[in-house]
Structure 1
Amino acid sequence: MFLAWLLALLAAAGALFLGEVMGKPPCVLCWYQRIAMFPLVLVLGMGLLSSDARSVRYAMPLAGVGWGIAAYHLLVFWGVVSEGLVPCGKGSSCADADVQVAGMVPIPLLSLAAFTGILVALWMARRRAKA
């Protein structure tokens, strides 16, 4: 569970760094991913502090929803899904080239990797708790 919390903390810090320090405004889908990621830091952190394995039960749906949004965002970025199907109305585009780190790694790919890592870590923690 510590690994899942650490991944969530790093992803949340990275999102805040990109938005606040580097000045990259988040698109609508990025905001939805943040809505799923930021509470994971608190839920998993509180579970670690109180040694409560039940926090995995609360964190898995958040991570699963975030993973789905990140996967969808990546499909939009790659052009598989039309940007017209995206709830982007105001703000930056969900498929813009500005949604990349160092001009080559898409932010939705980083988000998908973080959510995947969190889900794997939570799944392992759940299996360990049942054993």
Structure 2
Amino acid sequence: MKKVDISQLSLYVAWLVSVVATLGSLYFSEIRGFVPCELCWYQRILMYPLSLLLGIATFQNDRSVKKYVLPMAIIGWSISLFHYLEQKVPGFAAIKPCANGVPCSAEYINLLGFITIPFLAFVGFTLIIVFMLFIKNPKKNQ
């Protein structure tokens, strides 16, 4: 029986999460017609490149991508958390009002009373962070 390489599997699953998040984002804006707010754009700016970086790293088995992906995912996670709190916590939206366009506190979807688009992004970034933590650092050549 072949031994499973947890680092390679983690890279692959993190890549799948980023692709699903990217395609979901495009579905909401291009097919459903939801106009992204400012915070949605920041989350997209951080998620879209992860699809490319993790895809290349997966097929090259490049574990060193962790040092690039993890900071981007943590920043995206923070923005998603802030965005979700802005939608769900009364008074939180007053911290940074939107200048124009769609307000960041708007909820296009609200499934089961708590699943919104920023929540989905938050889950995606969380999964990517968790899978990056499963990747063992590559051994340095001596």
Aligned equivalent of 1:20 = 30
Q: Which runs of 4+ in 1 moved over 6 A?
A: none
Pick the structure with greater CA Rg: 2
Quickly say closer, same or farther: Cα 1:81–1:70, change in 2 above 3 A: farther
Map 1:1-131 onto structure 2 (within 5 A): 1-80=11-90, 82-86=92-96, 88-98=98-108, 100=109, 104=113, 105-126=115-136
CA distance in structure 1 between the aligned counterparts of 2:28 and 2:130, rounded to whole angstroms: 25
1:71–1:108: 8 Å Cα contact kept in structure 2? Answer: yes
**What is the CA deviation profile of residues 60-115 of structure 1, one whole-angstrom value per residue up to 9, with x for unaligned ones?**
011000000000001100135532322621221111132x2558421111111111
Amino acid at match of 1:54: S
**TM-score calculated relative to the size of structure 2:** 0.82
Amino acid at match of 2:127: G
CA distance in structure 1 between the aligned counterparts of 2:103 and 2:29, rounded to whole angstroms: 14
Unaligned stretches of 5+ in structure 2?
A: 1-10
SS at match of 2:136: helix
CA distance in structure 2 between the aligned counterparts of 1:80 and 1:24, rounded to whole angstroms: 23
Quickly say closer, same or farther: Cα 1:80–1:123, change in 2 above 3 A: farther
Q: How big is the alpha-carbon RMSD for the aligned residues of Structure 1 and Structure 2?
A: 1.8
1:7–1:117: 8 Å Cα contact kept in structure 2? Answer: yes
Moved more, 16-25 or 43-52: 43-52
SS at match of 2:69: helix
Moved more, 76-85 or 110-119: 76-85
